[in-house]
Amino acid sequence: MVKVLISLPEEALKDIDQAAQSAGMNRSNFIREAALKVVAQTPVRPIDRPEIRKNYQAICRFRGVWKAKPPTQMEINKWKERNHPR
């Protein structure tokens, strides 16, 4: 486990210490548990997943090639063959 140094207002630290004591925890465990709960509740956006971002960027590049009209399936297949040979 690694250690970190954080800055908090003095009043916030007092509140944290009181809450930790009420929960029967030390300050470090209390802050760790609180931080992990926030992380667990934070939704992950699909665009933040590397494979989704890569595909999205490819789509954006692809769209830049055909701005006037949507591409046909044949044009899409040709583009795929040029840019992603097997």
Predicted confidence at residue 82, as pLDDT, reads 86
The pTM score is 0.53
* Among 37, 35, 34, 60, CA closest to 47: 60
Q: How confident is the model at residue 70 (pLDDT cuts 50, 70, 90)?
A: low
- DSSP state at residue 49: S
How much is the pLDDT for 65? 60
Amino acid at 82: R
Q: What is the maximum span of the chain, computed from C-alpha positions, in angstroms?
A: 67
Neighbour-count burial for 20-44, b at 16+ CB within 10 Å, e otherwise: beeeeeeeeebbeeeeeeeeeeeee
Fill in the DSSP letter of residue 39: H
